[in-house]
Structure 1
Amino acid sequence: MPGSTLHVGRITGAHGLKGALRFRPDNPDSDTLEQVKRVFLERDGASREFRLTTITPLNARTWRITLEGVADIDAAEALKGAVVMLAAEDVPPAKPGEFYYYEAIGCQVFLTDGSRLGAIEEVFSNGAQDIWVVRDGEREVLVPVIEDVVKTMDLAGRRVTIEPIPGLLD
């Protein structure tokens, strides 16, 4: 197992009789899985490496993947519920103006007036844009990752500056 892994989705079941799997990605818009050669499946406290042989979209939220060594429906069904992980070193660099969700986790969020809002604890997509879950103690703010709101993003410095839109902090 590599040192650092990234959660990218989950196996939801078998697809057909020849070992293909239904995979539900955390971010359906990401093409990262198409750019790697191996995945790690974690289930029941155990992790196992597989060579990824094919990946094909089935619909907007589910992909069909095949893994070397998974050749029949029984082997595929045995993997249902497994978490799909990638080795951090296998992930290609983000394109300019883009970021991986894991890179934003832990960044401190400040308002343009300099006051601290909290830290990014989760990132998800609502279908229209990415959303940061920013928490400071009991306070939670859902910040849309859009140009009107996010003014600067310094991942190396672990700092983000936002301009709140009306209603964001209410």
Structure 2
Amino acid sequence: MQKEDCFYLGKIVSKFSFKGEILVKLDTDDPESFLEMESVFIDMNKNLIPFFIEKSSLQKSNLLRIKFEEITSEEDADRILKKELYLPLSFLPDLEEDQFYFHEIIGFHVIDKRFGEVGLLKGINDSTPQALFEIEHQGKEILVPVNDDFIERLDKTKKELHLNVPEGLIEMYLD
């Protein structure tokens, strides 16, 4: 399994018991939907390795307590501490027509209500407090906050993202 075929699920943040249980901080608004997983992929030295789940339960609000079949001691758990967990993209739940996962819209044409054709969506930077659309416009990068108020509509068939951003936001990158 390749990382580009997967989505980031969360990170192992601590050990939970001397029997090798661990706690995972999930990167999701719906942690309950990940309680029935049979396995996950753990990034071990840039390779995704499958680990099979013996049992799991929610701990607090967004922590998932997991007991892996292969992890039976604290020493085993130490090997996977601070590692990232991934699942295949096919595990993502279906969304409504006007909703999207970030990976789905890369390569879409971005059109603004005032400005017109802005450019091609090259990526989404979600490492900042406010996620940003990264749009290429004639060799320049334009950053637009990912904000429901700015998104007019999404046309998945035509691969178009229609925005209505505040006046001057796009132009400030072009001066």
TM-score (norm 1): 0.75
Match of 2:80 in 1: 79
Amino acid at match of 1:54: S
Aligned residues between the structures: 165
**Using the alignment, how far apart are the partners of 1:125 and 1:59 within structure 2?**
22
| Percentage of identical aligned residues | 17
> What is the CA-CA distance between 1:116 and the residue it aligns to?
1.5
Aligned position for 2:70:
69
Give distance in 1, aligned partners of 2:123 and 2:99.
18
In structure 2, the CA distance between the partners of 1:164 and 1:21, relative to structure 1 (3 Å rule), is same
Give, as a single letter, the amino acid of the residue that structure 1 aligns with 2:23: R
Unaligned 5+ segments in structure 2 are: none
Structure 1: which 5+ residue stretches go unaligned?
A: none
- Equivalent of 2:121 in 119, 122, 127: 119
Shift of 1:126: 7.1
Give the conservation status (yes or no) of the 8 Å contact 1:109–1:159. yes
Matched, 1:134 2:142: no
Structure 1 pair 125–111 and aligned structure 2 pair: CA distance change class (3 A) = same
Please, which moves more after superposition, 91-100 or 45-54? 91-100
Whose helix proportion is higher, 1 or 2? 2
Alpha-carbon separation, structure 1, partners of 2:57 and 2:128:
23
Greater than 4 Å deviation, 4+ residue runs: none
One-letter code aligned to 1:163: N
In the TM superposition, residue 57 of structure 1 has moved relative to its aligned partner by 4.0
SS in 1 for 2:121: strand
Q: Residues 167, 142 of structure 1: CA spacing in aligned structure 2 closer, same or farther, 3 A cutoff?
A: same
Is residue 162 from structure 1 mapped to residue 163 from structure 2 by the alignment? yes
Task: Please state how far the C-alpha of 1:86 moved relative to its aligned partner.
Answer: 0.5
The structure with the largest alpha-carbon Rg is 2
Normalised to the residue count of structure 2, the TM-score between the two structures is 0.73
Q: Provide the aligned C-alpha RMSD in A.
A: 3.0
Residue of structure 1 in register with 2:41 after alignment:
40
